[in-house]
Amino acid sequence: MSADKSDHRLLITGIVGTIIVALCCFTPVLVVLFGIVGLSALVGWLDIVLLPALAFFIGLTIYAVWRRQRNTTNS
């Protein structure tokens, strides 16, 4: 796989992950879903998982953009 294709895949993964985790953090999507399936006791633990996941995906997106910029300036 070429570096350009892996950079593009990395960027798409970072953006999609950031959007999904942000939706779950800032809207009650998971709270409603957990309530529907009877797992509402786990709602208190969501921030412990979602906030680090959000930080990870934002970092992944920044890294992918940096890597893509570096490859276009070197080419």
The pLDDT tens digits of the residues spanning 18-43 come to 999 988 888 788 888 888 999 888 88
On the question of pLDDT at 63 being above 90, the answer is: yes
14/69 Cα distance (integer angstroms): 15
Three-state secondary structure call for residue 24: helix
Rounded to whole angstroms, the Cα distance separating 28 from 46 reads 11
The answer to whether residues 45 and 24 touch, using CB atoms and an 8 Å cutoff, is no
- pLDDT tops 60 at residue 13: yes
CA-to-CA dists, residue 27 to 18, 22, 39, 61, angstroms: 14, 8, 17, 21
Query: 75 falls in which pLDDT band (50, 70, 90)?
Result: low
User: What's the pTM value of the predicted model, to 2 decimals?
Assistant: 0.80
pLDDT confidence band for 53 (50 / 70 / 90): very high
